[in-house]
Amino acid sequence: MISLKSSSSTSSSLNSDFHGHRFLVQELEGIPKKGNIQYCSFSLNAQMKTGIIGETQKWWEKGLQPNMKEVKGAQDLVESLFNAGDTLVVVDFFSPGCGGCKALHPKICQLAEMNPEVQFLQVNYEEHKSMCYSLNVRVLPFFRFYRGAHGRLCSFSCTNATIKKFKDALAKHSQNYCSLGPPKGLEKKELIALAANKDLSFNYTPKPEQPTSVPPTLEEILAETAQTPPSHSEAEPSVSPPLPLPLPLPLATGSNAAKGTEDKTLVASGSRLRRMRMASQIKKFKDALAKHSQNCCSLGPPKGLEKKELIALAANKDLSFNYKPKPEQLTPVPPTLEEILAETAPTLPSHSEVEPSVSPPLPLPIPLATSSNAAKGIEDKTLVASGRRLRRMRTFFSRAMHCLAISSCTD
């Protein structure tokens, strides 16, 4: 047998046409004679790294990261999405003959290396055409993002020129959060389409849907809530009536079944009504909390409970609570408008006081200017001037008050 040597022969063997197929090798010793030829067959499987003859690595297998995986079939895709939990899963649909997929592959590998917490699933369109047709994949390259209970988050197609769309979606949906509920994975219609595809060995049994009751109308809710209150005799009967004997259960006829369905509908509507009331009460509580939780300073001591509540607590014999109400101070009654006007508008002086009709007396003859007479005359002049000034002040004040009273009355 021939032993394969490395170095010189390996570099030329990479361009050979064997690509891992089986071939025959004959061993010759001296001159070839009849019957001395021995045939042996073996297979050579090698990789490009070692330099031995073998098949070259395909472009979609280069640069793969630990978080990148090629999907083997429909069952593998469904299980991978279900087992991912809350991890973001990016499904990459590609084709070996797609130039855009080949140009975009190195950047996808680089993004997978930069985001090790994200799982990348690769689906070869040429090997899984039927599955891609059932998943409604019509363009390549095509990407779908899945996560937890939310299921499919987004789906789009992008090329090397529009790689920003892929980066934005990856940054948006790669945030850490916990979803409530089991992982959803593929949509229900997609699972049904995969199960209906005869080319795939995939089975799916949809869960039976629970019948949803029809929501009641506003008139029914109002008729339910607005019931006539029971009378006092019905609410508190003096003598309890005897309990009736239980009736035998009726047979399950059509009318009984319809009545049972109606009762279930009424129960569902009643529970929905209770939920609506609870939601409205919660909303009122939130509004009141937002309204009264603002910071403000009140003038005066804290008030606490109302006075009638404190008196009721003190009157309760089962509680050891004492309360002595403070004596109420009489608050003065504010004066009315008539009283204010009567106080501010005094009686006007008469016409005789303001403008006397009697003419003043004639001036007396001036006496001789003696020392006593001179002092007396100065004093008389001062008194006369002060009297005139006082009269003028009274007149001005009375006219002003009169005008003020008239203006207030007109207003």
Using CA atoms, how far residue 372 sits from 365, 366, 368, 382, 396, in Å, is 16, 14, 10, 16, 37
- Angle, helices 188-196 vs 74-83, to 10°: value is 150
The answer, yes or no, to whether residue 25 has pLDDT greater than 50, is no
Q: What is the pLDDT of residue 213?
A: 62
The answer, yes or no, to whether residue 380 has pLDDT greater than 50, is yes
Residue 400 DSSP SS3: helix
Q: What is the pLDDT of residue 225?
A: 65
Q: What is the pLDDT of residue 163?
A: 93
Task: Determine contact, residues 44/50, Cβ cutoff 8 Å.
Answer: no
What is the percent of the chain where pLDDT is above 90? 27
> Mean of the per-residue pLDDT values for the chain?
74
In order of their start, the domains of the chain are: 1-56 (no CATH), 59-196 (3.40.30.10)
Higher pLDDT: 16 or 349? It is 349
The answer, yes or no, to whether residue 147 has pLDDT greater than 90, is yes
Q: What is the pLDDT of residue 33?
A: 46
Q: Which residue has the tokens 């409970």?
A: 305
Strand partners, 244: none
Q: What is the pLDDT of residue 108?
A: 95
Task: Determine contact, residues 87/118, Cβ cutoff 8 Å.
Answer: yes
- Highest mean pLDDT: which of 9-18, 143-152, 203-212? 143-152
Q: What is the pLDDT of residue 142?
A: 95
Report the amino acid identity of residue 134: S
The answer, yes or no, to whether residue 41 has pLDDT greater than 50, is no
What is the percent of the chain where pLDDT is above 70? 62
pLDDT class of 325 with cuts at 50, 70, 90: confident
Residue 42 DSSP SS3: strand
The answer, yes or no, to whether residue 241 has pLDDT greater than 50, is yes
Terminal Cα-to-Cα distance of the chain (whole angstroms): 130
Residues 243-298: tens digit of each pLDDT: 666 666 555 555 555 666 666 666 676 777 778 888 888 888 888 888 787 777 76
Q: What is the pLDDT of residue 212?
A: 60
Q: What's the CA angle centered on 347, arms 342 and 351, to 5 degrees? A: 155
Q: Known catalytic residues?
A: 98, 101
Q: What is the pLDDT of residue 263?
A: 63
Strands 119-124 and 22-27: unpaired
